[in-house]
């Protein structure tokens, strides 16, 4: 049983792959937005650079994560799924992801938005690790709300 839990999390191909080969790992020079977060309780870090296109959509992302497999893979997945979305859209995905992590099953349409992140449901069996999955999102969310406050 315990082993099953572990397999569902660490045995998941997508998670393993994102952890070992994080996407968008090239750092962007002079990005439009920079987002960073640290988990005070473990020291894990997530760093993002984001470029927006003329319509305010995420066009390019740079991501570096330091931390555990869950934190790193969640960050890498995030860096993929936000592309092409406006900041409002990114916030919506963030909300869906949080809901999912706390037990709400996404609809098919929502699952499409979440992309590889749907593979993160295995973390639910490890409640204390949920914040590892959310670290990257908290970085992005904080930065977006700050950005929006500045440009009313």
Binding site for another protein (CB under 8 A): 1-3, 5-7, 9-11, 13, 16, 38, 40-45, 66-72, 126-129, 132
Residue 73 near residue 63, CB atoms below 8 Å: no
Compare residues 70 and 93 and give the one whose CB is closer to another protein: 70
Q: Smallest distance, Å, CB 4 to another protein?
A: 10
Integer Cα distance of 102 and 11 in angstroms: 21
Compare residues 10 and 86 and give the one whose CB is closer to another protein: 10
Q: Smallest distance, Å, CB 21 to another protein?
A: 15
Q: Smallest distance, Å, CB 51 to another protein?
A: 27
Compare residues 32 and 36 and give the one whose CB is closer to another protein: 36
Q: Where are the alpha helices (DSSP H) in the chain?
A: 2-10, 13-20, 69-81, 87-101, 108-114, 130-150
Phi, then psi, of 84 in degrees rounded to 5 = 85, -5
In which element (H, E) is residue 60 found? strand 58-66
Compare residues 10 and 22 and give the one whose CB is closer to another protein: 10
């Amino acid at each position: 049983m315990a082993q099953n839990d572990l397999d569902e999390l660490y045995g998941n191909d997508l998670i393993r792959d994102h952890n070992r080969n994080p996407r968008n790992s090239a750092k962007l020079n002079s990005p439009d937005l920079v987002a960073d977060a640290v988990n005070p309780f473990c020291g894990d870090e997530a760093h993002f650079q984001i470029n927006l296109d003329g319509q305010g959509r995420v066009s390019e992302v740079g991501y570096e994560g330091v931390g555990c497999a869950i934190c790193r893979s969640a960050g890498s997945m995030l860096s993929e799924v936000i592309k092409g979305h406006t900041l409002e859209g990114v916030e919506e995905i963030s909300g869906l992801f949080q809901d999912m992590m706390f037990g709400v099953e996404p609809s098919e349409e929502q699952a499409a938005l979440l992309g590889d992140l749907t593979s993160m449901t295995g973390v639910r069996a490890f409640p204390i690790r949920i914040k590892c999955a959310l670290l990257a999102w908290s970085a992005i969310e904080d930065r977006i709300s700050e950005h929006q406050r500045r440009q009313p």
